[in-house]
Structures are given as C-alpha cells and as structure tokens.
Amino acid sequence: MAFAYEERQVIESLSFGIEPGEKVALLGCNGSGKSTLLRLLAGLYLPKGGRYFFQNKKMDKKRIDASIRSQIGILFQNPESMLFNPTVFDEIAFSLREFGYDDIERRVEEIAEQFGLEELLGLNPLKLSGGEKQKVMLAAILVYGPDLLLLDEPTAAMDPATTGWFIDQLLEWQTTLVLATHDLSVAYETCERALVLAPGGQLLYDGPMEPLLKDYDLLVKANLIHKHRHRHKRFIHSHYHLHEG
Ligand SMILES: Nc1ncnc2c1ncn2[C@@H]1O[C@H](COP(=O)(O)OP(=O)(O)OP(=O)(O)O)[C@@H](O)[C@H]1O
C-alpha cells in the first residue's frame, strides 16, 4: 500500500503481511513513517494506493465501525492526546462502555491491579506523570482485549524498571503486536520479527530480529545506530552507538 499527506508521499509501495499472534517491531528513523503506518493499520487512515486487509477483509470506509474499533487498539506516541476523561477509572472504562461490555467495574479493577494503578483510579489522568499516563492508556486499550495491538513508542516515558515490567507484560499478551520504537533492546526482547522503514517509507528489512542486529551497515543506513565521538574517562574515541529511549 501507499500513503501521502496531500502532496507529500510518506509510505511508498509497502507490502507485507502479519500473521495472528506475531510480534513485530517497526523500526526506522524520525520521520520515516512509523506513526503513519500504525494509523493505516488501525484503519484511522485508508491507503491512497493499494489495499489493506484486516482479518482477510479489505479495510474501507464502510468497515470502520465500532466492531473493527473493538478489535484494534492503538496507543499514540503522545498519550495526552488520548486522555480526556475526568478520572483514571472513567478513562479505562470508556471503551468498555462504548463497546457495550457488562461488569465494567470488575474489569477496570482487575486491569488496574495488574497495572498497579489501583491508587490512581480516582485521579485526573492529566495530572499523572508521563509513564503513568502511558500505563493508563495501555490499560484502557488492553481492558477490551483487542486482537491487534499497535503501540507507538510506548516506553519513551518509562523508567528502566517500568520498561522491564512492560516488556514482561508484552511477552504475556497473546494479541498480535506491532511496536514502533527506536529502542533496539526493547524491540529485541519483545519481538521476533522486525520491519525497518527507510526515510521515504520504503521497506529496508523484513525478517527476524537476530540477523538485523548484526547487520551494522543496514542499521546505520536506517539511522538506528550511528558513529560519533565521545568521552570515556580521559579518552575521546568513536564507535557505533545506540541512542535508546
Ligand atoms: N498530519 C500530517 N500532515 C502532513 N505531514 C505529516 C503529518 N503527519 C506526519 N507527517 C509527515 O510524514 C512523515 C512521517 O511522519 P511519521 O510521524 O509517520 O514518522 P515516524 O517514523 O513516526 O517519526 P518519529 O520517529 O519522529 O515519531 C514526516 O515527514 C512528517 O512530517
């Protein structure tokens, strides 16, 4: 498929398939089109060229109704843009109410316990820290059990301990996952497959994680690592570097 914002081509003839239950890391430098691709996969944008099939049915305007929305969960890069309820409880309950679930209180309390959010349920979500907001938004998505989970830089605001907790959660969830990240170690620990986008939205790599991490030329080409000079004690030297987080 292909996608452009007005005249600006962002995704160029991308072609790939994802099997149910697969965990796929979406890698690429700033502006390579990861967030745009996640929005396409969520059905928030429709391709401007080519086709996108979700669960063997073509995604089009007619299909994007509540039943599709309840099968796909997307976490945006900036969780603030998604928080609009007066309390954390209401935030997590929102989609459950929209999709007509029963037993809402029990479901919210269960996921709040799993995420360690019990003490925050009565608070205004906008007053939480960045990492807590990410957790609330994730809980609000996972509580309705989507088949496809699309996460845009979910660990960007998390401290190392929370990131570790989050990776453990990701490994437990049975949903299909597409995880956009700049953090190669999070990608490696959670996903068996990687898609690497080049600036301009072409696919540079589609395959298992392990060989990708040994392919320095490709990682440099995709801007996922770089060489620079820096200081170690009294010496200045240069080598390949990961800039994570
Ligand atoms: N709403 C929009 N209107 C016009 N251009 C846009 C819009 N959103 C994104 N773009 C452009 O599309 C390109 C891809 O952006 P996108 O946010 O998908 O990249 P990304 O890989 O997610 O980047 P990052 O790693 O910085 O989050 C960028 O050049 C961006 O300027």
Q: Is residue 219 part of a domain?
A: yes
Q: Give the position of tokens 């699309």.
A: 150
Global pTM value: 0.89
pLDDT digits 0-9 by tens, 142-193: 999 999 999 999 988 888 998 999 899 888 888 999 999 988 999 999 999 9
ipTM: 0.95
Q: Is residue 13 part of a domain?
A: no
Ligand 1 centre distance from Cα of residue 123 (Å) = 32
Q: Is residue 7 part of a domain?
A: no
Q: Is residue 55 part of a domain?
A: no
CA 193 to CA 231: how far, in whole Å? 34
- Return the CATH number at 230: 3.40.50.300
Ligand 1 centre distance from Cα of residue 134 (Å) = 21
Query: Atom 1 in ligand 1: which residue has the minimum CA distance?
Result: 5
pLDDT digits 0-9 by tens, 44-75: 999 988 899 999 888 887 777 767 888 999 99
Q: Is residue 146 part of a domain?
A: yes
Q: Is residue 75 part of a domain?
A: yes
Q: Give the position of tokens 């059905």.
A: 43
Number of domains comprising the chain:
1
Q: What is the DSSP string of 112-124?
A: HHHHT-GGGTTS-
